[in-house]
A and B are shown apart, each in its own frame.
Chain A
Amino acid sequence: MKTMKKVMSLVLVSVLTLSMMVGCGNTETAATTWKIGGIGPVTGDASVYGQAVKNGMELAINEINEAGGISGVQIEYNFQDDECDNEKSVNAYNALKDWGMNILVGSVTSGCCIAVTAETAKDNMFQLTPSGSSVDCIINDNVFQVCFTDPNQGIGAAQYIGANGLATKVAVIYNSSDVYSTGIYEKFNAEAANQDFEIVSTSAFTNDSKSDFTVQLQQAKDAGAELVFLPIYAQEASLILTQAAAMDFAPTFFGCDGLDGILAIENFDPSLAEGVILLTPFVADAEDEMTQNFVSKYVESYGETPNQFAADAYDAVYTIKAAIEASGATPADGISGICDKMTGAMTTISVDGLTGTGMTWAATGEVAKEPKAMVIVNGEYTNLQ
């Protein structure tokens, strides 16, 4: 018995040691292709977003490769799962580094993005997040955003409601465990003081309690709210709309880009979303050729209508292309060299993408683009003028 145990522990130790060697030997050889890595949740609760980003990236990269790559250099692509967990996101980043990644698109969710940002800063790796919208995501110089920062959306929403006189009494329901939702709410709250309306009720929920909203809705109803501001994602918003209809509460619902995709939610009656206003940079029904092209290709490849995350990811890849072309970086420059060149070029480029025309970037990493206000009429997104 004792010898057996000794043998077992020896074997296990050596197995462990050997397993550590697996995947080693990645000496810094000069890369010859662009290796773009992606990180996001493709399993678990937030998998909708990760999957969309993964598909959007894939679509853009395939298009670019078919057209001959970036300045004649092909792109390789690898997307790793992070289960929407900070620790796993850093693990995924390290795995991608072993694979030889020289540019990172990610992480998809803000919390993970903040954790990964600390690592990319150490390696000076160029990072462009399609949808990590918190301001903390871009505190380092090597990180840029494709989506709006949350504060800008909050201020934009408050100004829009005030300027257009949509309501005088506003209620807010937000997700306090979500960086995105809280970020928008805080700025909305601050900006509301300067506007011509009053916030009569504020209620929060968390990721652990996002199935029943009757308490929050009742609070808004009792306060006499004419408009309910929902800086949250479509999944929860669909429940709020359904539960509001059940309790005969019919204010105007107003959301941000997270509400995009609400008409496609499973088991949701789209007629309930009638009259919902949202500020979003992307809608799948837009008339322009680029969007229609993207949507038809996306539907063909993945069998579903793309949401804003897919569009952000698609734009992210094209932004990287533009930055590489403007900076003249090559894969041979090495991770840090590429990052320095691209960081310099980011502030000079202007990209026409799905989520905005003439997108430009500030050195802080923030994007400048116009949000569009949309209203849902007859089950379709319509521009609100």
Chain B
Amino acid sequence: MKRLLQSKETKKTLITFGIVIITYIIVEILMLCGLLSNQLQGLLVPICYYVMLAISLNLTVGILGELSLGHAGFACVGVFTGTVFSICMQNVIAASWIRFALAIILGALFAGIVGILIGLPVLRLKGDYLAIVTLAFCEIIKNVINVIYLGKDSQGLHISTTDTTALGMEPEGVVIIKGAQGVTGMPQDANFTIGILLILITLFIVLNLVHSRDGRAIMAIRDNLIAAESVGINITKYKLMAFSISAALAGAAGAYYGHNFNNIKAATNNFGYNMSIMVLVFVVLGGIGNMRGSIIAAVLLTLLPEMLRGISEYRLLIYSIVLIGMMLFNWSPKAQAWKEKMKVRILGKLKKNQKEVQ
């Protein structure tokens, strides 16, 4: 146990878990004291969702080292399978937590399967090519969902790609997916506690994978493909493993997020390339391969535009400027050199002070 704690990696992992749990406790206390505004309470579920997306995308981008722009597509699969399942089972499974857990698992499963199906042909590509193909797949997923009409009556499920009248349902039947207008009427089961649990599970899966034998193989592929191949690592297997796990986790996140609203539709803003790029921004800003960084970046960037509501019209402009500023501050070589300098100076002063005290 002692040796385990001494390991640098374990310590880092534990700190990451600690930050999530401490944040959870603080937020819960604030909520109990009635100190948390409605706006922030409403944001908790979306924040958890974006954090999960960022962590899972970091697995593809940071650990596998492949640029994927299709992450929102996998979340979209999760949203729709999860919510459709919940609506169908609303009267069958009474205990909401069992139904919700099953919906999340189903969302993850379907997204994982789609991940494998897409990954098989796509992972033969590298770099920019892969990015473009994943972007295309993300759009395909969104557009396919936009033409599906799904209804349910006593005869069972009806599906069509034209419109609701083509479903030919009994008058008392319910339309579940209404094409581009999305799903309406799912139970709103999502809450903050479940979100934090899912974040912890996501972190656990990703960090464990990274520190496992498989994880090292995946990182070896990232660092040098030819060398990895030459020592007998099965490239396709490990690439597919990372990619589909990442997709499945995004699907779970999506299923969770879908249960926060009364209506959800697959639009460009929330499940198209816009969102994929947004999640990539979380990952890049937080540091590629750095899970803790992506969590913090996702939280900050989700809160920021909402916190800026006070300046109404200029909100999105300021948000973009702040984003540019943050990127520059975090990643420009000049800023990094400046940060190094400041660190040396501060540490030097601290040491000096300590010496004086002694």
Whether the pair B165, A16 counts as a contact (CB closer than 8 A) is: no
Q: Is B13 part of the contact surface with A, judged by Cβ < 8 Å?
A: no
Given A9-B19, A186-B165, do A207 and B35 touch, yes or no (CB 8 Å)? Answer: no
Whether the pair B303, A19 counts as a contact (CB closer than 8 A) is: yes
Whether the pair B312, A81 counts as a contact (CB closer than 8 A) is: yes
Cβ–Cβ < 8 Å partners of B336 in chain A: none
Whether the pair B269, A85 counts as a contact (CB closer than 8 A) is: yes
Question: Which stretch in A159-167, A175-183, A245-253, A264-272 binds the other chain?
Answer: A175-183
Whether the pair B269, A83 counts as a contact (CB closer than 8 A) is: yes
Question: Which stretch in A112-120, A217-225, A289-297, A368-376 binds the other chain?
Answer: A112-120
Interface string of B58-102 (1 = CB under 8 A from A): 000000000000000000000000000000000000000000000
**A9, B316: Cα distance in complex, Å:** 27
Tell me the minimal C-beta distance from A280 to chain B in angstroms. 23
Cβ–Cβ < 8 Å partners of B269 in chain A: 44, 83-85
**A44, B270: Cα distance in complex, Å:** 14
Question: Which stretch in B36-44, B214-222, B237-245 binds the other chain?
Answer: B36-44
Q: Is B264 part of the contact surface with A, judged by Cβ < 8 Å?
A: yes
Interface string of A1-37 (1 = CB under 8 A from B): 0011010010011001101111111110000000000
Q: Which residues, 1 to 38 on B, are CB-close (under 8 Å) to A?
A: 15, 19, 22-23, 26-27, 30, 34-38
Tell me the minimal C-beta distance from B344 to chain A in angstroms. 10
The dominant DSSP class at the B interface is: helix
Q: Is A91 part of the contact surface with B, judged by Cβ < 8 Å?
A: yes
Q: A-B contact count, CB below 8 Å?
A: 144
**A189, B165: Cα distance in complex, Å:** 9
Query: Which of B179, B181, B347 is packed against the most chain A CB atoms within 10 Å?
Result: B181
Q: Which residues, 176 to 215 on B, are CB-close (under 8 Å) to A?
A: 178-182, 184, 188
Cβ–Cβ < 8 Å partners of A9 in chain B: 15, 19, 292, 296
Question: Which stretch in A62-70, A92-100, A301-309 binds the other chain?
Answer: A92-100
Q: Is B253 part of the contact surface with A, judged by Cβ < 8 Å?
A: no
Cβ–Cβ < 8 Å partners of B23 in chain A: 13, 16-17
Instruction: Name the contact of B163 in the complex, choosing from A16, A115, A176 (C-beta under 8 A).
Output: A176
Cβ–Cβ < 8 Å partners of A21 in chain B: 30, 35
Q: Which residues, 143 to 185 on B, are CB-close (under 8 Å) to A?
A: 143, 146-147, 163-165, 178-182, 184
Q: Is B126 part of the contact surface with A, judged by Cβ < 8 Å?
A: no
Instruction: Name the contact of A118 in the complex, choosing from B146, B188, B307 (C-beta under 8 A).
Output: B188
Q: Which residues, 304 to 358 on B, are CB-close (under 8 Å) to A?
A: 306-307, 309, 312-313, 315-316, 343, 347
How many chain A residues touch B (CB < 8 A): the figure is: 56
Cβ–Cβ < 8 Å partners of A19 in chain B: 303, 307
Determine the residue in chain B with the shortest Cβ distance to A137: B263
Q: Which residues, 217 to 266 on B, are CB-close (under 8 Å) to A?
A: 261-265
Whether the pair B316, A207 counts as a contact (CB closer than 8 A) is: no
Q: A17-B26, A111-B263 are in contact. List 19 more A-B contacts (CB 8 A).
A: A9-B19, A13-B26, A16-B300, A20-B35, A20-B36, A21-B30, A21-B35, A23-B40, A24-B37, A25-B35, A27-B34, A43-B316, A86-B263, A90-B42, A111-B182, A118-B188, A118-B263, A177-B265, A186-B163
11 A-B interface contacts by CB (under 8 A): A4-B343, A6-B15, A9-B19, A9-B292, A81-B309, A85-B270, A86-B270, A87-B261, A87-B270, A178-B180, A182-B181
> Footprint of B on A, CB under 8 Å?
3-4, 6, 9, 12-13, 16-17, 19-27, 42-44, 79-81, 83-87, 90-95, 97-98, 111, 114-115, 117-119, 136, 176-179, 182, 185-186, 189-190, 204, 206-208
* 7 tightest A-B CB contacts, nearest first: A177-B180, A118-B262, A94-B42, A114-B263, A94-B39, A97-B38, A94-B38
